[in-house]
Amino acid sequence: MSLKTTRLLSCICLASWLSGCQVTTTGKNGYNGNWAPLFDGTSLAGWKQSDFLNPGITYARDRKLVIPAGEVLSGITWARDFPKMDYEIRLEAMRADGSDFFCGLTFPVNDSFASLILGGWGGTVCGISCLDGEDAANNETTTSILFKNRAWYAVRLRVTKDKLEAWLDNEKIVNADTKDRQIDVRIEVEESRPLGLATFQTTAALRNVRWRKLVE
């Protein structure tokens, strides 16, 4: 084997080894259109505790995010960059204990924000807060779903120009036209902005939290 060939093989091996050692920052690689984790399964990397009044303190355990019930709201807020438009979020959520919303997913919509609420207003109401000043219990996205405690539900959210869509266990529950509409969150969850997960007097578990940028 020539010296030139030996050096070439050495370079190839080194490049391969280095590529295998690259550190993936939680959530970062979603910009290329592939699904990327927002939760690494073991820590709250990338998240901070939301500044609610007397919340339960969120923690990671057994590859799940656990949000304990607080006096009113509990949850976490994303502390890194995130797109404002043309993206999807997926997660699985469980109401472990309690009787109100176990998934309050607040998310950016251009320069504003909205929330996908699952199981609010006593346990069954789902929808988007807020559209034209009306919350998830009082606009066209309102649906009523009977949730079982300690059961996992697959959640999917898609944010695109002029439209908000959401699915629960592959059934579409939100299909809202947002063109020329006022979009905002309820004042109670402002601490979840720009991207956050919250519960209302309810303990929840979440897993497989991930996102991707929608690219052409």
State the pLDDT at residue 8: 40
CATH code, 56: 2.60.120.560
Q: Which residue has the higher pLDDT, 17 or 127?
A: 127
Q: pLDDT confidence of 26, banded at 50, 70, 90?
A: low
Is residue 22 assigned to a domain?
no
**Per-residue pLDDT tens for 131-182?**
999 999 999 999 999 999 999 999 999 999 999 999 999 999 999 999 999 9
In this prediction the pTM is: 0.87
Where are the strands (E) in the chain, listed by range? 36-37, 47-49, 59-61, 64-67, 73-78, 87-97, 103-109, 112-120, 125-129, 143-144, 152-160, 163-168, 171-177, 196-200, 203-213
Asked, for residue 14, whether it belongs to a domain, the answer is no
Residue 150 lies in a domain: yes
Residue 169 lies inside a defined structural domain of this protein = yes
Query: Residue 98 belongs to what domain range?
Result: 27-213
41, part of any domain:
yes
- The answer to whether residue 197 sits within a structural domain is yes
Confidence of residue 9 (pLDDT cuts 50, 70, 90): very low
User: Domain total for the chain?
Assistant: 1
Name 150's bridge partners: none
Q: How confident is the model at residue 25 (pLDDT cuts 50, 70, 90)?
A: low
Instruction: Tell me how far apart the alpha carbons of residues 184 and 116 are, in angstroms, rounded to a whole number.
Output: 11
Residue 1 pLDDT > 60? no
Average the pLDDT over each of 24-33, 43-52, 83-92, 183-192 and give the range with the smallest value: 24-33
Spell out a b/e string for 118-149, using b for 16 or more CB atoms within 10 Å of the CB, else e.
bbbbebbbbbbbbbeebbbbebebbbeeebee
Instruction: Look at residue 30 in the predicted model and tell me its pLDDT.
Output: 74
Give domain status of residue 85, yes or no.
yes
- pLDDT band of residue 28 (cuts 50, 70, 90) is low
Q: Is the pLDDT of residue 65 over 70?
A: yes
Contact 10, 1 (CB under 8 A): no
13, part of any domain: no
